[in-house]
A and B are shown apart, each in its own frame.
Chain A
Amino acid sequence: MNRRHPFLASLIFMAAVMTIAATAFGETLYVSAKSAQVRSGKTSLDPVVANLTLGDSLDVISRNERWLHVRTANGIQGWIYATYVSPSKPAGGDNELAALGKGFRRTDTSGVTASAGARGLDKASESYAHRAGITQQHRDAVDRMTASKIPDEEIQAFLKAGRLGEYAE
């Protein structure tokens, strides 16, 4: 019984040290949105001081309702809208099992991806369309859909006009 006490004491000491360390160095969060801005203040009207992308890490300095005071990996401090971050690092892309499966299936992306650049259906899809008797009009529709892009700035302007996301009042 006596032997247990030093062990328990060590455990309690280690837990205390870990808690203090966590508090001292702040919580680490990750950007969970495709893109996000760090601003100099806690409103959407404040200037952007850093542009981040999915998976970027941040240290939390303090919290204020819907906004977090953070420090980026480059040491830039500012405020980020809380919806754009998550405590767990987003997976993004294929997981390890999917990548392993791709290796076994011996797929060759470069050999079958069609139209270089952003535009167009993949060759394999074109081949499927031909085999399935899909009309050119319908192929063009999915082709246009595949190629369609909307710049992030336009989506931000749309959110702002609707008082949505970080632009909410």
Chain B
Amino acid sequence: MRNKLSHRLFMTGLALLAAAGLAGCAEIQQAAEGVARNSGNERLAKTIRGGGTLIGGLLPIGYDEERIIGQAIALQVVARYGGVYDRPDLTRYVNLVGRSVALTCDRSDIDYRFAILNHDSINAFAAPAGYIFVTRGLLKTIKNEAELAAVLGHEIGHVTQRHILDVIQRSKQIAGVAEAGLAYAKTNPDAFKNVIDGAVKTLLDEGLDQSKELESDRLGVIFASRVGYDPAAYETFLTRLRTLKGDDPALFKTHPDFSSRLSAVQSTISEQKLPATGILLADRFSRAASGAL
């Protein structure tokens, strides 16, 4: 008799869980969990909750969670790279260039913020939700505003394509974790820290998939070109970078070889028919950087 009742309850629970899935309504799932618990079937209640958790883990990360993840990763980037470079005028200039490029990127509804890391290495990073960093060393290698615009466009591309979130999403699914964001940070802060630490390791030490870097190279030159910067500036910059002896092995460990990157940029300029505007704004860049680097 009890088995029959349990079976009926189980089927009801599953039906309600499926209804919750179809309706996207956590309340239905909670109601099903409550019915099972009130009937004394704690195991079924846990199954329903676990089912919701599993479904939640398979679904994309929303912006509220992305913002928390982005801030946590940004904190680690700042800590690992010696803090931000305290030059308000130069930081404002980098923000003006970056936000101008972001104005017409493929995800212009979110806020993008840019900071300079007080580090001599040549590198740049993008955390989810639009937290973007360039090192002081990278700025020293840049010769004009069009190059800076393309570099920032590359980082904006990582955000528009949610590259780091993809890494987190995959690690969540492998670990069977549903909540990587707000609720998880609150209820299981140690596990949240593990998720963030894993993402930081990928971002700073191991690097993203090469395909993601090449995609961001293509987007960087497209986004900068939309504003009017000359797309050839990014080619010049990558060629210069290739000739430099980078003192940060991370850049070369975490990015594709320059031949592939240049080839991706050149084919994008040609296929997308990006106009050679001749706009480099070398003087404006020099004025902003003068005495600050």
Contact = CB atoms under 8 A, between A and B. Distances in A.
Given A33-B103, A84-B104, A155-B99, A102 B64 contact: yes
Interface string B161-190: 000000000000000001101111110011
Given A33-B108, A162-B281, A107 B113 contact: no
Given A128-B72, A134-B76, A101 B109 contact: no
A46 B25 CA distance: 50
Contacts, number: 195
B277 interface: yes
Contacts of A112: 68, 182, 185-186
- Which secondary structure dominates chain B's binding surface? helix
A98 B26 contact: no
The size bracket of the interface on A is: 35 or more
Contact of A138 (B58, B78, B181, B185): B78
A162 B145 contact: yes
- Which secondary structure dominates chain A's binding surface? helix
Interface in A77-123: 83-84, 90, 92-109, 111-112, 121-122
B189 A107 contact: no
B100 A104 contact: no
Nearest to B196: A128
Contacts of A168: 228, 277, 279
A127 interface: yes
A121 to B, nearest CB: 5
B66 to A, nearest CB: 9
B129 to A, nearest CB: 9
Contacts of A101: 55-56, 58-62
A105 B56 contact: yes
20 contacts: A34-B108, A90-B108, A94-B63, A96-B24, A104-B26, A104-B53, A108-B182, A112-B68, A112-B182, A122-B67, A124-B68, A124-B192, A131-B190, A141-B84, A146-B71, A162-B228, A162-B281, A164-B227, A165-B104, A168-B228
